[in-house]
Structure 1
């Protein structure tokens, strides 16, 4: 019996033209297995609305054609349901797709859907938001906010923006409660890793797993500016945890006191939090094709 598959396409993610995507997908999707439909998003959170509607209509697979932000919207709508999520990576970093081993080639990613191979992964929760790859606060949240306004996206644009902002960025003081244990830390940034990487194979938490029911809380302590490049290279070499400026603690729940509004990022999308930050994990709550 054929399965119904809906492709939700973000037309602007990654700065790549997707006008001909439906034609390409139909050429490589096994039509003996699928009835396909394609819809383009028109506004922020449109992917969430479309995916939520698809769940109500008992669509078997909803495919996010976009970056981690599009994936987040689709995943947030279908987690905890019987609907499966597919991914065709079209973003700037494609962190979750890389962590799942999904091909970055659109053609190969579509062909992978024909295998209908699935697995369940954990969902991170930060206050009212869901994340599937990475959330954080501090410098990476600041850069996510600045990066959103850039016309030139991709790794090069991200690196340039990071270099331009790091000189004036001030570390913060944080009180963290991880699984009931209170810690005081000065931090350049704090990341909550469900997968091991931000994207572009930059691994902040090399041992993080998508299905272990635990988050890797990565605390980047203040470091000399002359080590900025070295700290970045460590992520690509998967050796970040070997630095004395990096502390990684595994935990299921985190609470962070916030005396002022805190800028965070949720799978790379900047958000303002006006109260204390509470992070938890919902184990094996999203089924993905990979």
Structure 2
């Protein structure tokens, strides 16, 4: 009898505001147990998924699976980066940007069946001040929203929308100096997003042409715009036409430095991280193996 692949499912119990009490049972019903030997662990503190991922590498697991959102994916992906261990995804977050881009079903059973196929693809990894990201990192408005959302007691898209409205009421654009592959740009911007994949999540596309395996990051500069145009900017996001707005400039690059006037939050795959005035950003091509 052939040896079954050992898979560790790392479950974030609060991601997306969804209960996951029946998840283990679902896996045991849908996963091909002739091929796979599943283990389940639940995160209970910040960075716990990263710790569990590191332990899985040391313990010789054949794959780890993030049961959560982009933040859980980020922690697990960062833990196994460069080891050759594949990362599976069961999308259970508020936005599920990376999973949607990779075509991983939002339905639990369908996503588990993808793992049964065990087909993998290599994807790029972004790095900002030593922190890895696989979807999008950003500063300005979206980072402030992520910072507010992190302390909100309402999860999911409704909580995120509430945080966005609260931040929008008194948010001011900032000046940025951007050095992208040797060229210098000075911009007053509402926000700057550095995209490895095209969308934040919930099919909101900030960088419609971005690709997760082209060895490039798309620097998306959303310039200062009249607030009465905010609904139109949102419309562009959900119609994959952000790059057609006169207030959006997208510059692809590999070696990126962003300078700002003061330290503040930067969102890294949706999770807020306090960083300084200088952001050094680069890319590691095809550095993570993902089951998709």
TM-score by length of 2: 0.97
Q: How far 1:275 sits from its partner (Å)?
A: 4.6
Distance across 1 between alignment mates of 2:17 and 2:225: 34
Report the equivalent of 2:56.
Answer: 54
Do the aligned partners of 1:60 and 1:82 also contact (CA within 8 Å) in 2? no
Q: Distance in 1 between matches of 2:100 and 2:262?
A: 35
- Per-residue CA distance 1:16-67 (angstroms, 9 max, x = gap): 1112211111110001110110011111101000000111122111000001
Corresponding residue of 1:273: 275
Task: Determine helix, strand or coil for the equivalent of 1:151.
Answer: coil
- In the aligned structure 2, how far is the partner of 1:6 from the partner of 1:83? 11
Query: Aligned partners of 1:35, 1:161: CA distance in 2, in Å?
Result: 40
For 1:182, which of 181, 184, 191 is the aligned residue? Answer: 184
C-alpha displacement at 1:261, in angstroms?
1.2
Unaligned runs of 5+ in 1: none
1:107-122 equivalent positions in 2, closer than 5 A: 107-122=109-124
In structure 1, the residue corresponding to 2:165 is in which secondary structure? helix
SS in 1 for 2:167: helix
SS at match of 1:182: strand
Go from structure 1 to structure 2 and tell me whether the alpha carbon gap of 1:275 and 1:171 turns closer, same or farther (over 3 Å shift). Answer: closer
Greater mean deviation of Cα atoms: 193-202 or 151-160:
151-160
For 2:21 and 2:199, locate their aligned partners in 1 and report how far apart those are by CA, in whole Å.
Answer: 30
1:232 pairs, out of 225, 231, 234, with 234
Once residues 41 and 14 of structure 1 are traced to their aligned partners in structure 2, the CA distance between those partners, rounded to angstroms, is 14
Q: C-alpha separation between the residues in 1 aligned to 2:134 and 2:126?
A: 6
Match of 2:209 in 1: 207
Unmatched 5+ residue regions in structure 2? none
Query: What secondary structure sits across from 1:144 in the alignment?
Result: helix
Q: Which moved more, 1:273-282 or 1:152-161?
A: 152-161
Equivalent-residue separation in structure 1 for 2:255 and 2:202 (angstroms): 27
| Equivalent pair of 2:198/2:207 in contact (CA under 8 Å) | yes
Q: CA deviation at 1:274?
A: 2.5
2-side partners of 1:124 and 1:26: how far apart?
A: 34
Match of 2:198 among 196, 199, 205: 196
Question: Using the alignment, how far apart are the partners of 2:154 and 2:210 within structure 1?
Answer: 30
Stretch moving more, 203-212 or 146-155: 146-155
Counterparts of residues 122-161 of structure 1 (less than 5 Å): 122-161=124-163
* Aligned 8 A contact 1:241 1:248 in 2: yes
Stretch of structure 1 that moved more, 14-23 or 42-51: 14-23
Which residues in structure 2 correspond to 1:14-163 (within 5 Å)?
Answer: 14-163=16-165
Query: For 1:188, what is the secondary structure of its paired residue?
Result: strand
Describe the SS at the equivalent of 1:83: coil
Supply the distance in 2 between the matched residues of 1:44 and 1:262 (Cα, whole angstroms).
Answer: 20
Q: For 1:138 and 1:217, how far apart are their aligned partners in 2?
A: 13
TM value normalised by structure 1: 0.98
Provide the alpha-carbon RMSD of the alignment: 1.0
- 2:49 and 2:169 mapped to 1: Cα distance? 36
| Contact 1:8–1:41 (CA under 8 A) maintained in structure 2 | yes
